[in-house]
Amino acid sequence: MTVESDPLEADRALKARHRDMWALGDYPAVAAEIIPDLGAVLVDACGVGRGHRVLDVAAGSGNAAIPAALAGASVVASDLTPELLEAGRVLAARRGAEVEWRQGDAEALPYADGEFDTVLSCVGVMFAPHHQAAADELIRVCRPGGTIGLLNWTPEGFIGQMFKAMKPYAPPPPPGAQPPPLWGSEDHVRALLGEAVTDVTVRRQTVTIDRFGSPGAFVDYFKANYGPTVAVYRGIAGDPDRVAALDHALTELARGHLQGEEKAVMEWEYLLLTAHKRD
């Protein structure tokens, strides 16, 4: 049996590529410098408090896990990429937050049914390639009556449009994989969660980004630090024309979103959804 014909081996290879991609650049810097407060927004929306058992899925370096722990919850941060977990341990220790860091695949979480009061993910689970498998796991490990909370970039917002701009320069996705920004579509997420949840609340909000004074500053930063962008550029490094074309596409995208005369800012849109697992 060849690797290509073995679904389990193909999935292992796909997840290995995902681990490697998120280890590129410096995602902990992106989370800390660009969207430092986004995890706390989700934690607050989920009503996380003292004594709650919380799982942060695709936690990265703990953008949501650390605020949840500081709110008094008992928190497990799960991610596919060990390098991000290690960065999270350092950040948590620096902030005095007690978090359990465990490597895990969002599509096959190593936890018992109904183990957590709150299961959340901040711009994390959206990058799991098989959306229904990941959604089913979020539901499975949440206790009946517990909270599921998701914060994801929308397809129409800046990051969704960035992935659209990068798509022509990236390798084609494997069969069955779905685009990450679909998790920012209300209809898509409602369909994924289905009848397993109730009391769904959904809001579209934006986070103000004031880190980039020019389109070029944004492109340079993401080329150096954001794993998916780093990976795309590495894939076309031998073709200067394609590199120049992608530079132009991302520069023009940023130019269209930067606003303000005295201080340039961007508004990045996300979907914030909370729900309760049915009893």
pLDDT of residue 263: 74
pTM given for the model: 0.95
Give the 3-state secondary structure of residue 69.
helix
Per-residue pLDDT of the chain (279 residues; tens, 9 = 90+): 344 568 889 999 999 999 999 999 999 999 999 999 999 999 999 999 999 999 999 999 999 999 999 999 999 999 999 999 999 999 999 999 999 999 999 999 999 999 999 999 999 999 999 999 999 999 999 999 999 999 999 999 999 999 999 999 999 999 999 999 999 999 999 999 999 999 999 999 999 999 999 999 999 999 999 999 999 999 999 999 999 999 999 999 999 999 986 678 999 999 999 999 999
Tell how far CA 91 is from the center of its chain: 18
What are the helix (H) ranges across the chain? 7-23, 27-33, 38-45, 65-70, 82-95, 131-141, 158-166, 186-193, 215-225, 227-235, 240-257
Q: Are 126 and 184 in contact (CB under 8 A)?
A: yes
State the Cα–Cα distance between residues 100 and 106, nearest whole angstrom: 16
DSSP string, 12-56: HHHHHHHHHHHHSS-HHHHHHHTSTTHHHHHHHHTT--TT-EEEE
Q: Are strands 116-122 and 142-153 parallel, antiparallel or unpaired?
A: parallel
DSSP state for residue 81 in the 8-state scheme? -
Q: Are 212 and 254 in contact (CB under 8 A)?
A: yes
* Token reading at 101: 């860091």
Domains of the chain: 3-207+268-277 (3.40.50.150)
pLDDT of residue 5: 61
What type of residue sits at position 29? A
Contacts of 143 (CB under 8 A, 6+ apart): 114, 115, 116, 117, 277
What type of residue sits at position 202? V
* Token reading at 76: 């497990």
pLDDT of residue 260: 80
Contacts of 68 (CB under 8 A, 6+ apart): 39, 43, 48, 52, 54, 56, 75, 118, 120
pLDDT of residue 245: 98
Give the 3-state secondary structure of residue 163.
helix
pLDDT of residue 73: 98
What are the backbone angles phi and psi of residue 212, rounded to the nearest 5°? Answer: -115, 120
pLDDT of residue 6: 83
What type of residue sits at position 62? G
What are the backbone angles phi and psi of residue 176, rounded to the nearest 5°? Answer: 90, -15
Q: Are 154 and 204 in contact (CB under 8 A)?
A: yes
